[in-house]
């Protein structure tokens, strides 16, 4: 794995420190390795992780890979930075056979920070103490699984009052909603988990399902403002609105929102307006909608060619009127919704050398975001960063000289990255899923 230490902001001033190389090769001096920039890895060379670039770093595997997951908000408190951490994830598998898939609740706990390297000249007694400490610091994983027929394309979790639920897009063309309360209970109790896996898991069924889409899809988003309101978009270009009704069910409007000409790839509700949402599509466009209008007339704003090709993912900033998008062209673009009619982004960043697979604004820091790509990079960005002219990046390493100033950190080492999320209650903690499994980390940069 290779990572670039970011221009880390000093506390209280917002001034960046200079970038440092944090990559290491097997022989010779350490060099910076960045995909698409500079020479490729030669035979006999490998990427070596610099643990000093990470405050926290853990990996986990769950058998079949997960295309999508969501972080479940918990009752352990907000803004928690004290280690070790505990977190809960809800994920869905993409197994080789339809019958082998699972909806999963993961409890990861005892997640300690990265350990400083041993000091030179440490004696045998210190080494024994280190071994005991290593045992105590081992990360733990509890896993509650529910059988699911068909691969799960996307998972999104919401709390409906006191009830946690997950909406799933199935490759079989259905959208289902599952209650999560029991799964959350059993991952906290080993005895209850054993009973659940033995006697209960096969009986768990969705509390609601909609088969009105004309095929499978990926786009899915719960409203952050109206409890239980849901949007689903499919590969046949249609978007449907779900409205909660009494009795824990939903009314799904059979009239689709019409406007896109190809697959709807992602959906995002406005964090400030109850009736407004954004969509992106394989038709290269981004659209803004208002559900107060009839579905056939609800598209209010359109940027027809937002990217050169498919627009895969979008994220709506919680504190600023900015929409972040990532496309098959590898570009990351920021759109000021006050100027959306212009059809021009206010910023474009090109670090990824393959399609962007996930983007998300930081939940607390309005200028920070993260992105993942099919080039197996996770990048962290800060719009407030400007290069320090005295830092001498170019003199330190020419490979860094032409990097975007706002690029804080490049994380590598995953295989076939699919999705990432910031933890809403643990500042700076990122979780990603890939063919190689889940990764939980926090860098020195954010």
Average pLDDT over residues 103-130: 79
- Kindly report, residue by residue over 295-343, the tens digit of the pLDDT: 999 999 999 999 999 999 999 999 999 999 999 999 999 999 999 999 9
Average pLDDT in the 218-231 region? 98
Residue bearing the bigger pLDDT, 304 or 40: 304
Q: Beta strands 332-336 and 347-349: pairing type? A: antiparallel
Structure confidence at residue 171 (pLDDT): 96
Contacts of 303 (CB under 8 A, 6+ apart): 285, 286, 287, 335, 340, 343
Predicted confidence at residue 312, as pLDDT, reads 98
Token couple for 230: 């849901």
pTM of this prediction?
A: 0.90
Give the residue-averaged pLDDT of 76-83: 96
2 has pLDDT over 70: no
Q: Cβ atoms within 10 A of the Cβ of 162, count?
A: 6
How does residue 387 score in pLDDT terms, banded at 50, 70 and 90? low
Look at residue 27 and tell me whether its pLDDT is greater than 60. no
With a cut of 50, say whether residue 13 has pLDDT above it. no
Contacts of 110 (CB under 8 A, 6+ apart): 84, 86, 137, 138, 139, 140
The answer on pLDDT for 1 being more than 90 is no
**What's the pLDDT at 8?**
38
Report d(CA 150, CA 174) in Å as an integer. Answer: 10
Is 292's pLDDT higher than 90?
A: yes
**pLDDT beyond 90 at 34:** no
Q: Which residue has the higher pLDDT, 96 or 27?
A: 96
What is the rounded average pLDDT of the residues 146-152?
A: 97
Stretch among 7-21, 284-298, 394-408 having the lowest mean pLDDT: 7-21
pLDDT bucket at 116, cuts 50 / 70 / 90:
confident
Whether the per-residue pLDDT at 117 is higher than 70: the answer is: no
Mean pLDDT, residues 351-357: 97
Distance CA(40)–CA(36), nearest Å, equals: 8
Q: How confident is the model over 243-265, as pLDDT tens digits?
A: 999 988 999 999 999 999 999 99
Query: Would you state the pLDDT for residue 50?
Result: 84
Mean local confidence (pLDDT), 18-26? 35
Residue 28 binned pLDDT confidence (cut-offs 50, 70, 90): low
Contacts of 181 by beta carbon, 8 Å cutoff, 6+ apart: 163, 164
| Residue 407 near residue 349, CB atoms below 8 Å | yes
The DSSP symbol for 308 reads S
Q: Which residue has the higher pLDDT, 177 or 403?
A: 177
Q: Exposure pattern of 206-232 as b/e (b: 16+ CB <10 Å)?
A: bebebeebeebbbbbbbbbeeebbbbb
Which of 30-39, 263-272, 335-344, 432-441 shows the lowest per-residue confidence on average (mean pLDDT)? 30-39
What pLDDT, on a 0 to 100 scale, did the predictor assign at position 19? 30
* pLDDT above 90: percentage of residues in the chain: 79
Do 167 and 220 touch, CB atoms closer than 8 A? yes
Range in 1-5, 315-319, 352-356 the model is least confident about: 1-5
Is 37 a residue whose pLDDT tops 80? no
* pLDDT value, residue 127: 65
42 pLDDT band (50/70/90 cuts)?
Answer: confident
pLDDT of residue 92: 98
Provide the pLDDT for residue 397: 64
């Amino acid at each position: 794995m290779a990572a670039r230490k970011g221009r880390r902001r000093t506390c209280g001033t917002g001034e960046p420190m200079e970038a440092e190389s944090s990559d290491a090769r097997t022989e010779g001096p350490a060099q910076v390795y960045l995909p698409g920039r500079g020479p490729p890895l030669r035979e006999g060379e490998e990427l070596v992780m610099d643990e000093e670039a990470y405050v926290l770093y853990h990996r986990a595997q769950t058998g079949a890979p997960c295309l999508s997951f969501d972080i479940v908000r918990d009752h352990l408190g907000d803004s928690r930075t004290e280690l070790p951490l505990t977190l809960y994830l809800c994920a869905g598998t993409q197994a080789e056979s339809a019958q082998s898939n699972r909806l999963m609740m993961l409890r990861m706990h005892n997640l300690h920070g990265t350990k400083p390297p041993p000091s030179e000249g440490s004696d045998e007694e210190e080494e024994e103490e280190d071994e005991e400490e290593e045992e105590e610091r081992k990360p733990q994983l509890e896993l509650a699984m529910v059988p699911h027929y068909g691969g799960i394309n996307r998972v999104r979790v919401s709390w409906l009052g006191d009830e946690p639920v997950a909406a799933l897009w199935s490759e079989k063309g259905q959208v289902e909603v599952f209650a999560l309360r029991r799964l959350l209970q059993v991952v906290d109790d080993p005895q209850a988990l054993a009973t659940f896996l033995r006697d209960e898991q096969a009986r768990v069924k969705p509390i609601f399902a909609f088969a009105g889409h004309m095929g499978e899809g990926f786009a899915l988003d719960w409203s952050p403002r109206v409890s239980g309101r849901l949007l689903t978009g499919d590969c046949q270009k249609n978007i449907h609105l779900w409205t909660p009704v009494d009795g824990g069910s939903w009314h799904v409007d059979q009239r689709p929102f019409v406007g896109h000409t190809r697959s709807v790839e992602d959906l995002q509700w406005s964090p400030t307006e109850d009736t407004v949402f954004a969509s992106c599509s394989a038709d290269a466009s981004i659209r803004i909608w208002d559900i107060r209008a009839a579905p056939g007339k609800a598209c209010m704003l359109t940027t027809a060619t937002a990217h050169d090709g498919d627009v895969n993912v979008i994220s709506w900033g919680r504190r600023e009127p900015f929409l972040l998008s990532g496309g098959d062209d590898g570009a990351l673009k920021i759109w000021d919704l006050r100027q959306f009619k212009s059809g021009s982004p206010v910023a474009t960043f090109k670090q990824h050398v393959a399609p962007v697979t996930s983007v998300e604004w930081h939940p607390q820091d309005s200028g920070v975001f993260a992105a993942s790509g099919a080039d197996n990079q996770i990048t962290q960005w800060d719009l407030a960063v400007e290069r320090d002219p005295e830092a001498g990046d170019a003199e330190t390493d020419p490979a860094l000289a032409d990097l975007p100033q706002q690029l804080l950190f490049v994380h590598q080492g995953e295989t076939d990255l699919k999705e990432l999320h910031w933890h809403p209650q643990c500042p700076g903690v990122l979780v990603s899923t890939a063919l190689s499994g889940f990764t939980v980390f926090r860098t020195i940069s954010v």
